[in-house]
A and B are shown apart, each in its own frame.
Chain A
Amino acid sequence: MIELTQSGDTESSEILRVENLQVHFPVKIPLLQRIVQREKAVVHAVDGVSFVLQTGEIMGLVGESGCGKTTVGRAVVRLIEPTGGKVIFEDRNIAKAKGGTIRALRREMQIIFQDPHASLNPAMRIGDAIGHPLWIHRSGSQSRASFRREARENVLSMMREVGLTPEEQLYDKYPGDLSGGQKQRAVIARAIILEPKLLVVDEGVAMLDMSIRAKILELMLDLKRKHAMTYLFITHDLATAKFICDRIAIMYLGRIVEIGPSKEIYADPKHPYTKALLSVIPVPDPDKRKEKILPRGEVPDAVNLPLGCRFHPRCPAVLSSCGWEGRDFLDLLDEHLSDPKRAGADETILGPIEDWWAKGLVAGRKTGPADAAKITERIRAILAEGPAAMVQAVGTVGLQGKNVIIEFRGPDTLAQTQVGERIVECLLYQN
């Protein structure tokens, strides 16, 4: 008796464990360039993501567009094969599972895609679409006719459950005849008709307007209570996540930077990126509105990732040890040179930005020894305009062979740190 409850408490309550998940996509580059470049370029869509889902909880996966949320979802339900890492579903690592095994898993885990319209076959009636999973996973023993009758009943009751009514009429409609909200409901019905244990919802409500959005969210909470379903809820909308999620993981450029209970994260965000994201949620009460600190600059691309913490080029709380590198200096230089007021005569001294190169921690340009002193002096002046942390990170500036170079000191190793009940990946909280 005791043993039973124990095993029930410890093991079976964990339904999904993702460990160091990596998904890299090859970049399509011209053949010639591929020959010249020896290194293979890849998009680091997901680059070392770990989290655990407990049975019956809703975990939000939040982040800006392109940070890899959908890719995590698709890798978890094994629509794509991870490049590395583990996906442990109910104590089984399915990261490298193949065809038949994966098909059998579909009963247990389902995904709802970002775009309900595009994920419905335009040539299939709604009722057939919702019932199709039943046919796919049907065992051969039952006669077709009796199965058909049962499936139809099942579909109709599922349609009632998700609020697709009048169900008899809608059964024979095609997706083109349905409204956005109805299609969303149809997609939900199709995903849950097999009563999966885990449901990945990718922007499940993003395409809907506010009134319907609330209804669909209520519906999902309802389903969770009724069927003890576990959700991985992907969204870029923190307001929605707050409403529905027990725990939240914040993603940035393929990594989770902060993960923990929603309440804690909303009340007191730790990671500077989380703070920035939270500051841009629209707040209804104007008095409460905080200063918006949406990070400056573009999201760096996921092919050539920034050194150290990926957020450091945009981070408002950046330290000297966060990963400053040659590229960051070039960005600063570019900014400086393209502003005519500040650039002054610098273009003639420093040369056009194209003359500069950056490699790892070093940036530099070719020059004769005569100009070196002048260039070094200008570099120091420009550095002074940049973030203070960047200046502190500079190791050497000077002539090295035929190049004037500027070299940064390397970053400190970033590690995941427990802060309260959450895990943060930021040097500010490491000691």
Chain B
Amino acid sequence: MGQDIQQQRIITKILGKPVRYVRSLFRPLVRERRTLPGILSWIGLVMLLGFIFIGIFAPVLVPIQQTNALAYPILLPPNAQHWMGTDGIGRDVFARVIWGARTSLTIMAIGALLALIVGFPIGLFSGYVGGWVDRALVLVMDSVYAFPGLLLAALIAAVIGKGIFNIGIAITVIYIPLYFRVTRSQTLSTREELYVEAARALGARSWTIMLRYIAFNVVIVIPVIFSLSAADTILTAAGLSYLGLGLEIDVPGDWGRDLSDAQKYLGSGIWWTSLFPGLMIILLTIGLSFLGEGLSDIINPLLRKERS
């Protein structure tokens, strides 16, 4: 009995924070559902969830064999069996497109996670410490940010080689500055909160203040940065693949490469091999942009209000 309560307490302690956090994100979304940013966010969220569903259940939706070369006759137009036709080496376009969602989302997740792991702590530290450390970090990050993203990613990809994980890393480098900047500016304003001064009055050390009083109140901006950068991530990843710097050839779905492969058929009126991968890139990008713009419209005034 006592142990049960103890267990219960540990569970709420571990899960309490994330659950609370997610709830605190959804509350404004629900409240703002009738305003334009609210509607945009919801549309974006539903689209993203749809893609995530497709990505996760790709193996169930279409057998992986259909994405292999020479599985079918080449360049069949869309028909009852092949809804989106087949491509130049006999792969089912529909199957490629579905598996491509899985690939894109994986890259996006790796990129976002890495950028978060690196950008968030540095931004927190820089904003809290201030002074010349802060100025130096801002300078470095700003110069990375000023660099054309695709070019930088291509450069890194060329150095470290192909593969989903490597592309994730290449993309990370572009987005670290974004996580850094937003986290830093949020830290700068949180640092001025009375509860931070109260923590100092209790005798807390800088580390404690940074981790226990500031970090938890800064995480609220993460979803905004994520969804603002995610659309770009998708485009950059597709761009790298398009340039031939992206994934290995045997990845079961790769929108960017499929698009680049389909190019040579466009002249002969074969539209289906390029239209569908292109459409997917556009849809996912639009969904993420809706979510990003909507969320930042909702959360930023929320932060401003909290501050005043």
Residues of A within 8 A of B200 (CB): 79
The reply to whether B202 and A79 contact each other, CB–CB distance below 8 Å, is: no
Tell me the minimal C-beta distance from A401 to chain B in angstroms: 51
Residues of A within 8 A of B204 (CB): 132, 136
Most buried by A among B195, B201, B203: B201
- Say yes or no: is B142 at the interface (Cβ < 8 Å to chain A): no
How many B residues are at the interface, by size bracket? 20 to 34
Residues of A within 8 A of B197 (CB): 79, 113, 119
- Say yes or no: is B34 at the interface (Cβ < 8 Å to chain A): no
Residues of B within 8 A of A103 (CB): 203, 205
- Say yes or no: is A110 at the interface (Cβ < 8 Å to chain B): yes
The reply to whether B203 and A137 contact each other, CB–CB distance below 8 Å, is: yes
For the A-B complex, the count of residue pairs with Cβ-Cβ distances under 8 Å equals: 58
Would you call the interface of chain A mostly helix, strand, loop, or mixed?
A: loop
- Say yes or no: is A12 at the interface (Cβ < 8 Å to chain B): no
The reply to whether A119 and B198 contact each other, CB–CB distance below 8 Å, is: yes
Given known A123-B217, A132-B202, contact A118–B20 (CB-CB < 8 A): no
- Say yes or no: is A8 at the interface (Cβ < 8 Å to chain B): no
- Say yes or no: is B114 at the interface (Cβ < 8 Å to chain A): no
Contact residues, A84-108 vs B (CB, 8 A):
103-104, 106-107
Q: Name 25 A/B residue pairs within 8 A (Cβ), A-sorted.
A: A104-B203, A106-B202, A110-B201, A113-B201, A118-B195, A119-B194, A119-B198, A120-B198, A121-B195, A121-B212, A121-B213, A121-B217, A122-B195, A123-B17, A124-B212, A124-B213, A124-B216, A132-B199, A132-B204, A132-B212, A136-B202, A136-B203, A136-B204, A172-B16, A190-B202
* 8 interchain residue pairs of minimum CB distance: A106-B203, A123-B216, A118-B194, A119-B198, A103-B203, A121-B195, A119-B194, A133-B202
The reply to whether B194 and A133 contact each other, CB–CB distance below 8 Å, is: no
Residues of B within 8 A of A220 (CB): none
Tell me the minimal C-beta distance from A151 to chain B in angstroms: 14
- Say yes or no: is A170 at the interface (Cβ < 8 Å to chain B): no
B4-30 to A contact mask, C-beta < 8 Å, 1/0: 000000001000110010000000000
Contact residues, A154-173 vs B (CB, 8 A):
172
Q: List 14 extra interface pairs beyond A79-B197, A132-B202, A136-B203, CB under 8 A.
A: A79-B201, A103-B205, A106-B202, A110-B201, A110-B202, A113-B198, A113-B201, A120-B195, A121-B195, A121-B199, A123-B216, A124-B216, A136-B205, A172-B12
Tell me the minimal C-beta distance from A114 to chain B in angstroms: 8
Would you call the interface of chain B mostly helix, strand, loop, or mixed?
A: helix
How many A residues are at the interface, by size bracket? 20 to 34
- Say yes or no: is B208 at the interface (Cβ < 8 Å to chain A): yes
Residues of A within 8 A of B198 (CB): 113, 119-120
Give the distance in Å from the alpha carbon of A119 to the alpha carbon of B198 in the complex. Answer: 6
Residues of B within 8 A of A115 (CB): 194
Tell me the minimal C-beta distance from B226 to chain A in angstroms: 19
Given known A121-B195, A133-B203, A137-B203, contact A174–B20 (CB-CB < 8 A): yes
- Say yes or no: is A77 at the interface (Cβ < 8 Å to chain B): yes
Tell me the minimal C-beta distance from B10 to chain A in angstroms: 12
Most buried by B among A104, A122, A137: A122
B207-232 to A contact mask, C-beta < 8 Å, 1/0: 01000110011000000000000000
Residues of B within 8 A of A120 (CB): 195, 198
Give the distance in Å from the alpha carbon of A118 to the alpha carbon of B200 in the complex. Answer: 14
Residues of B within 8 A of A119 (CB): 194-195, 197-198
| Closest chain B residue, CB of each to CB of A123 | B216
Most buried by A among B12, B20, B202: B202
Give the distance in Å from the alpha carbon of A113 to the alpha carbon of B201 in the complex. Answer: 10
Contact residues, B246-280 vs A (CB, 8 A):
none
| Closest chain B residue, CB of each to CB of A103 | B203
- Say yes or no: is A111 at the interface (Cβ < 8 Å to chain B): yes
Contact residues, A124-143 vs B (CB, 8 A):
124, 132-133, 136-137
Give the distance in Å from the alpha carbon of A237 to the alpha carbon of B217 in the complex. Answer: 34
Give the distance in Å from the alpha carbon of A110 to the alpha carbon of B204 in the complex. Answer: 13
| Closest chain B residue, CB of each to CB of A125 | B16
Give the distance in Å from the alpha carbon of A420 to the alpha carbon of B238 in the complex. Answer: 86
